[in-house]
Structure 1
């Protein structure tokens, strides 16, 4: 099998030009029109969106990066070779498991910082990590929020938050124009956010810390840097969403376990689980399954294995009132993915 090669998008490639209702393709190095059937078939299989502008296509079918373009929103987009995507996805889900293993210690550190006095940087960043851990947030980008008026954790405004006792209600427009209304019960977070919402100084962003007499808005890069410092590895906010999606899918499939005696019922159960994860994360089902659910969870389910033995833990509330999808249930998900079949947290359904 041929090996992938590193593609250089700054080098001459294949250019796409509009012609009538379709496109023609030209070699940027020679200027010649591309008319070889096997090349045109490869380009067609890439399914580069028609709306993309300034499209560059790799001339090498084994290049790790196959195409680049600018979408309708002005963002640069990339299409990678399937084998490259598979490799990166495997790395992503392996990194997610490493995050799962250090989460208990991260949560302890975050909890300690949340009880610090004032509005110090570490306290506000710890609050940000708690929100990532429990609220399924996207991190959010400053430039994206300004251009598209859609928000993530780092860019949510004070006006997007309502605090009642120990409950925090987030109501805002998320990525893709999705309106997100999400409630979280957490007394520590409620106390910190109440202070930030009532502050007199600083701008409109909710998350900000105080340095001397100056309020400084939290940036997404600071949240990721803080996460790295408490976790000991280069994790990102997206790793939290990936882990959350994987845990939620594992629970949903375990709940469906009693009705999985046929291939058809299993497919339906997977579809329901994916839709449930998409609802929590604010994605389409396609994106949720492709990007945020470890495929090994679905593979194990199709082979009859789930985390059904720990489902009783879902009926217990923690001190903050949240259902327990953390702790033992997370440990069970790790056992499920790593095929620890002797674990008392996993069981064969069918």
Structure 2
């Protein structure tokens, strides 16, 4: 494995009839079978333009191109991607270790008064933690936590209901039971203003909450480098661990039953996240949970305590179950 960069001379893709041809940096057609097989395996979408392909099979960046929306997209070497995924999931484990203290700090700030920055962002953090929200983005005009509008949210009996069009133009409805959050959002809706819901008061007036504000708050409160996506990744991993544990006693299942169980669990996780099962497994669920299940190791022993540590408005998986998932993955690391 070696570093590679699309500014280096590379292989160029040319449209030819219904397919493509490829030219090396010297302008000559690529005819080497191994190179052509590598390019085919990269599965570069036909719609990509301005395609660059690494000349070496060992480059960490194997290909790049521009999609139909004008965004630059990339294909990385499988080994490099696996290494990066391991770093990402190890980081998420470190975040998970800090969640109990983080949740206590959020609780304390929700008990404050007024629509201050800390109280409104604490409400946003709680929604993020137990509602599995995407953070949303102003640049891509997608609805998520930071871009929820007044009309997307209702509050009643301590329950917040959010209904909106999420990424991919899919309808999404999320219910979160939390009286503290409900109190903050009722106060915001009582302002009677149009536009985005989350805003806070400061000496100079009002400011809308942006995705950067939420990520800054998460880092400030948890005392660690963290983003909203880390929360979704962790919750997806915990849900998968619970789902696999309740499938059937792993030791009594053959390979085909285990494979079907994993497929079903990924569908369930995807439903919670608002993603596809493929994305849920590839980007959110720590693969070590599935690897442990394949070795007949799950968190089944602690599922009798599911919800035992959770008050109204808290995740049933908080506490003992989350700790068991951390220990399961840490033990998987030691056995590798």
Classify the TM-score, shorter chain. Answer: over 0.9
Give 3-state SS (helix, strand or coil) of 1:143's partner. Answer: coil
- Please give the alpha-carbon distance, in whole angstroms, between the structure 2 residues aligned to 1:207 and 1:157: 8
The more displaced of 220-229 and 76-85 is: 220-229
The partner residue of 1:239 within 212, 230, 237 is 230
Corresponding residue for 2:248? 257
Tell me, yes or no, if structure 1 residue 74 matches structure 2 residue 70. Answer: yes
The partner residue of 1:182 within 162, 174, 189 is 174
How far 1:191 moved relative to its partner?
Answer: 1.0
Corresponding residue for 2:306? 314
Runs of 4+ aligned structure 1 residues displaced above 6 Å come to: none
The partner residue of 1:19 within 4, 16, 20 is 16
- Structure 2 counterparts to residues 125-140 of structure 1, below 5 A: 125-140=121-136
Corresponding residue for 1:293? 285
* C-alpha contact (below 8 Å) 2:250/2:297 kept by paired residues: no
Corresponding residue for 2:297? 305
The partner residue of 1:223 within 214, 235, 258 is 214
RMSD between aligned alpha carbons? Answer: 1.9
> What TM-score results when the alignment is normalised by the length of structure 1?
0.89
- Please give the alpha-carbon distance, in whole angstroms, between the structure 2 residues aligned to 1:267 and 1:62: 31
- Please give the alpha-carbon distance, in whole angstroms, between the structure 2 residues aligned to 1:319 and 1:132: 17
* C-alpha contact (below 8 Å) 2:310/2:319 kept by paired residues: no
Corresponding residue pairs, total: 331
* C-alpha contact (below 8 Å) 1:257/1:306 kept by paired residues: no
* C-alpha contact (below 8 Å) 2:243/2:265 kept by paired residues: yes
The partner residue of 1:46 within 42, 48, 54 is 42
Runs of 5+ in structure 2 lacking a partner?
none
The partner residue of 2:263 within 268, 271, 274 is 271
- Please give the alpha-carbon distance, in whole angstroms, between the structure 1 residues aligned to 2:77 and 2:245: 34
* C-alpha contact (below 8 Å) 1:151/1:173 kept by paired residues: yes
> What TM-score results when the alignment is normalised by the length of structure 2?
0.93
**Residues 118/25 of structure 1: CA separation in 2 closer, same or farther (3 Å cut):** same
- Please give the alpha-carbon distance, in whole angstroms, between the structure 2 residues aligned to 1:26 and 1:111: 60
Corresponding residue for 1:348? none
- Please give the alpha-carbon distance, in whole angstroms, between the structure 2 residues aligned to 1:53 and 1:97: 38
